[in-house]
Structures are given as structure tokens and as C-alpha cells.
Structure 1
Amino acid sequence: MSGFAYIVRDGNVAQPILKEALGQDASLSWIHLNTNDERAQLWLGGEAKLAQPVIDALTAMETRPRCDLFGPAALVNLRGMSSEALGDSDPLASIRIYAHGGCVFSVSRKQLNAIQPVRKQVEDGRILDPGDLIAAIAQAITEELDPMVAELGDSLDDCEEHISQHRAFDLRRLVNETRVKAIGLRRFLYPQRAALEKLAGLPVEWLADDDRLHLAAAADRAARMAEELESIRERAALTHETLTDLRAELIDQRSLVIAVAAMVFLPLTFITGLYGMNVEGLWFAKEPWAFDAIAILCLATAFVITAYFVGRHWFER
């Protein structure tokens, strides 16, 4: 089991071992565990002496963003980006936070990118209480997700621009990838917004007014990203339909050219096949001008059929 701990007392920051961070009279004691379920349960239940429902919530295998009130304490699940490999259906890593008074326990199964900048803020003395800490984690998560959502929108803009330039066939895979990413992120950002809004409104003493404002700002930012992802998902669906229509139209045009070519050569094949038979009785077969006459007949037939289709505007459809 790996992790770290911080103690903030009177503006001073210390980084003790995990066990020494327990039961300290400080404005903030932050204990973060980066471990698997079994080892986290043993430590949280043994050394930390947390209640079993809290341990189960902190070490659950599958979590969606949420916020629950446990008396004077709060349990918050958030999702953020990770440097470790994640599945396409679950593109964000979870962090589970339990805050009680001045003590905060956080657990993550994957390395969350937002943890490092928050640790830097704690070490610089800019985080003084649990409200500051949770708000900083939420803001760090949303700040990292915002450029990713904007990049998805820019990618879709490029696809739509290429469609207008008739370069559709190379874009279907890119549109599908953009749509899958948008769906995966949207799946967690909507409940994350609700969790942050609920946390900002909890009747707990350790959340100051400025903490509630920061949480509300992070919730608004998550809501904006969720709305943008919904727009990207709808645009990707429309773009995919447009690409499918363009592909079908192009196939129809090529099929039309093939059909016209077949109609032109069908009578020519019949004529040349007829005079290619090695039998007696073919008209003018022994005349010296027969080959020239058949060639002229074939050219005239091809010209008449082509002129007919051009006159009917088949090639303009």
C-alpha cells in the first residue's frame, strides 16, 4: 500500500507518515491512499478506525461521481484524468474523498493527475482546511478536462471542414473516435456536476463560504463541459450521417458510370460476338469493306447511346 499524508497547523505544513497523521489537532490532516481494495480496507478499518460503510464506499470497485452526507462528515466521489491506461468505456479515474472535521481521507486506484498540483498547493501553504482541499481537487480536475473537451470540439470542426472540401472517406474513423470519447466523458461529468453542487450546499461547519463559492464554480465549469460534450455527441452523430450519405452518393455515382458503360458496350459486344462466329451465312462476311463497316457501326452505336444518356442528364445526377 502506498500513500502520503499532510498536516497543516497554524499555517505550517508537515508531511508525516500515514499513522502519525491520525488524531492530530490540526486545521487539516490529509491522508491519501493509492492502493488496492483489500489493503485499503485493512488500513482504514484498523489504523484509521473508520466505519465499515465508509470503508466500503472508499474502496468500491465501480463508482460514479456523487456526494453523500454522513452526519457531520461528507463522502465525495469525483472523476479525473489519469496518466495510467484506462478503458474506452471508463476514460476517467476515480478519487473517493471522506471529510470529517479537519481530517480528509482520499483513496484512488489509479494515479490521478490532479493530485500532484494539489499537493504543491498544500506544500505552498495555500490550502488550510478540508474545504480548500476538496475545492482545489475539483478545480484541478475541471481545469485539466476543459482543454480535452475543447480539443474534441476542434477535432469535430476539422472533420466538418474537410467534409465541405469533399474529403469525407478519411474522416469516419476520426468522427467515431471523437464521439466515443465524448460519450465516455459525458457519462461522468453530469453526475460530477451534481455531486459538486450538492457538496457546496451541505450543512457542515468545515465548509467556509469561499469554499462553497469555489465548489460552485467547479460545478458550473463541469456543467458547461457536460453541455459541450452533449453538443459534440450530437454533432458527431450528424457528421457521421453526413459522411454516410456522401459515401452512398459517391457509390451511386460510380455505379451509374459503370451502368452507362455497360449499356454502351452491350450492343457492341453483341455485334462483335455475332461476327466473331466461325459459321457460314453472315451478311457481307466475305466483302473486303465488311470490317470497316462493322467498326463504323460500333462507333456510331456507342455515340448514339452516349448522346442519349448525356441528353437525359444522367451524368449530372
Structure 2
Amino acid sequence: MSDHILFAHSLNGATPGSELTGQAVADSLEAPELAWVHMNAGDPATAAWIETHMSYLPLAVRHALVADATRPRVSFHGDGAMIFLRGLNTNPGSEPEDMVSLRIWIDPARIVTLSLRQLAAVRELRQSVADGTGPQDAGTFLAEIAARLNARIVDRVDVLDDDGERIEQAVLSDEADPGTLRPQITDIRQELVDLRRYLRPQRDALGQLVGDRLSFLEDEARLELAEQQDVLTRTVEDLEGLSERLVVARDEIASAHSDRLNRNLYILSVISAVFLPLSFLTGLLGINVGGIPGTADGDAFWKVTAALGGFLVLQVLVLWRMRWVNVPARWRRQRK
């Protein structure tokens, strides 16, 4: 089999699930039996193969199937449809939110899928087809691939939701260092942005498929697609809710940080208000010029110290009356 054709299988007919190779791959697209061909969208030979063996498709469709950048959408052409979906990136060393594009051309007699990178959902569906337990009609194929893509998306969103809940608990309990929580919140919010970028149009695309434009969709497959659209709708709502909760957590961290800063500045202000006059007085008495009172009095130091102590008490009382300082609650109870 050519490198650009990753695999091909017959989905129904005399031998459902049998692998197709060589010329049988191209012939399967013309046969009445349903076949599935999966190709590497990044291989230059893929575009030439599509031009040769799928020339009956509109030019715009043929170009879109091998385009570098895609977004989830659906485009109907005759009895078939071009469908672009996205799946979670589970490849080693990759970020899950770097979602992999799955391009699909589907009609009653043929299914051609393309991707730039491997997709676990495609790999699993191929295994079920090879085992003889996979879908045998185009509608069921669509429903199963949508369900497998959604399953991993939901699992990832559940992990993000658990992380968000852990961050919320840490913020509310004031147990964790805000310096470690802020980067975590930023990372999760960035992932949420990437996920919502694709999941919103993917939800709308599944909604279009639920309609009656595709005649080969049986009622059961249509119902399953409607269910998968509902799953994506709930998932998008969960993402939006989590994003709002993280904004609240971030604001709470910023508020707590601001409160601590204001409290520290307040303490410094009180200390400055108390000791600045005392520093002025001691500095004034410490100048090295003649005429400083008490220089001939042996008890002058203690008298000045007592005077400064009394002045300190007076300052504290004035600050208390101005509500700059609070008297401890136990002292207030004793006075009563």
C-alpha cells in the first residue's frame, strides 16, 4: 500500500472488515459496497490521489480535504457531505488542547478520512472494524467516530474541572502559595481557550448533521448524533463555567494579595506615625550645640525618657481615637 494511504477496509459486503490493498483501494470507491479509506493529509501524494480517484467531487471539496488549516464544519454536496471534526491530541509529547483535525468525505458508498497526525479515535475504530464489530453503514460510522472523539474530550474536561476545583479549595482555605496558583490558573485558562475555539463550531457541525440533509442516516444513527451534539453542548457549558470560576479564583487571589499589601502598608504607616515625632525630638535634643536643657542635670536622661514615654502613650490614645489602631477585644471586655 502507498505511504499516503494509511489503511483501507471494507465495511460491508461479503467480507466486512477485510483490509484493502493496492488497486482494490481505488476500486472500492467505485464499488457499491461501503469502504473506508484513511489517508495522510500531509503527504503530497494524497492530493494527487484524490484528484485522480475522486475527481467527481467539487474542486473546492478536493482542495479543502488536504488544506493546511481547518476548523470544524459541515458542507453538503449531493448525497454526501464533507465534515471537519477535531479530536484530542493524545500523541506522546503533545499538548491535549492541540487538537488534531479529522477531515471526512462520506456518502452512502464510500468514506474517505484524512488527518495530519494520528488520532486515537480513528485507531480504535479501525480496530473494531478489523475485528468485525465495527460499523457497516455510513450513518453508524459517523455516530461512532463522533462518540469516540467526544469520549476523550469529556475525559480531558473532567480532569480540568478537577484541577479547577482543587485550585478553588486552595484559594478559599488559603493553604497554597498564590505564587504557585496563578501560573496554574493561567495554564488552565489557556487550554480552555484552545478547547472552546474548536468545540463550539464542532457542536454546531454535529447539529447540522442531525438534520435531514443526509438521506443515508438511519433514525438510530441520527439519534446518536443528536446525543453526541448534546454531550458537546454540555461540555462547552462546563468549559465556560470553569473559565468563569477560574476568573473568580484569580480575582480572589488578587484581592487577598491586595489586602495583605494594604495591611502591611497600614502597619508601616502606624509605626511611622508613632516614631516620627519621637525621632524628631530625640534628634533635636541630640544636636551638638550649646543651650541644650538638662546638660547639667544628672537625672535629665530619665526625665526625658519618661517624657517621651508619656508622649508615646498620648500618641497611641490619639491614634485610637482616630481609629488608626484597634484595642484588643479582651481589653475592651475587661474595661466593661
What is the match of residue 21 of structure 1? Answer: 25
Q: Secondary structure at the match of 1:287?
A: coil
1:278 aligns with 2:282: no
2:89 pairs with one of 70, 75, 82: 82
What is the match of residue 243 of structure 1? Answer: 253
Cα distance in structure 2, aligned partners of 1:74 and 1:18 = 26
**Taking structure 1 as reference, are residues 15 and 313 closer, same or farther at Cα in structure 2, changes over 3 Å only?**
farther
Cα distance in structure 2, aligned partners of 1:102 and 1:212 = 18
Q: How far does residue 225 in structure 1 lie from its aligned partner after superposition?
A: 0.3
Identical pairs, percent:
27
Are the counterparts in 2 of residues 69 and 75 from structure 1 also a CA contact under 8 Å? yes
What is the match of residue 142 of structure 2? Answer: 134
2:38 pairs with one of 32, 40, 46: 32
Cα distance in structure 2, aligned partners of 1:314 and 1:147 = 53
What is the match of residue 152 of structure 2? Answer: 144
Instruction: Note the residue ranges of structure 2 that are not aligned, 5 or more in a row.
Output: 327-336
2:9 pairs with one of 1, 6, 17: 6
Q: How far does residue 311 in structure 1 lie from its aligned partner after superposition?
A: 5.1
What is the match of residue 210 of structure 1? Answer: 220
Q: Secondary structure at the match of 2:24?
A: helix
**TM-score, structure 1 as length reference:** 0.89
Q: Secondary structure at the match of 2:69?
A: coil
Instruction: Note the residue ranges of structure 1 that are not aligned, 5 or more in a row.
Output: none
Cα distance in structure 1, aligned partners of 2:271 and 2:24 = 86
Q: How far does residue 103 in structure 1 lie from its aligned partner after superposition?
A: 0.9
Cα distance in structure 2, aligned partners of 1:132 and 1:240 = 44
**Taking structure 1 as reference, are residues 39 and 202 closer, same or farther at Cα in structure 2, changes over 3 Å only?**
farther
Cα distance in structure 1, aligned partners of 2:21 and 2:316 = 87
1:193 pairs with one of 182, 200, 203: 203
CA RMSD of aligned residues (A): 2.4
Q: How far does residue 123 in structure 1 lie from its aligned partner after superposition?
A: 1.7
Q: How far does residue 272 in structure 1 lie from its aligned partner after superposition?
A: 2.3
Q: How far does residue 18 in structure 1 lie from its aligned partner after superposition?
A: 6.1
1:93 pairs with one of 93, 100, 124: 100
1:59 pairs with one of 52, 61, 66: 66
Are the counterparts in 2 of residues 27 and 102 from structure 1 also a CA contact under 8 Å? yes
1:46 aligns with 2:56: no
Are the counterparts in 1 of residues 41 and 65 from structure 2 also a CA contact under 8 Å? no
Cα distance in structure 2, aligned partners of 1:308 and 1:160 = 42
Q: How far does residue 26 in structure 1 lie from its aligned partner after superposition?
A: 5.7
Are the counterparts in 2 of residues 135 and 211 from structure 1 also a CA contact under 8 Å? yes
**TM-score, structure 2 as length reference:** 0.85
Q: How far does residue 294 in structure 1 lie from its aligned partner after superposition?
A: 3.2
What is the match of residue 123 of structure 1? Answer: 130
Cα distance in structure 1, aligned partners of 2:202 and 2:321 = 63
Are the counterparts in 1 of residues 89 and 95 from structure 2 also a CA contact under 8 Å? no
Are the counterparts in 2 of residues 77 and 97 from structure 1 also a CA contact under 8 Å? yes
What is the match of residue 72 of structure 1? Answer: 79
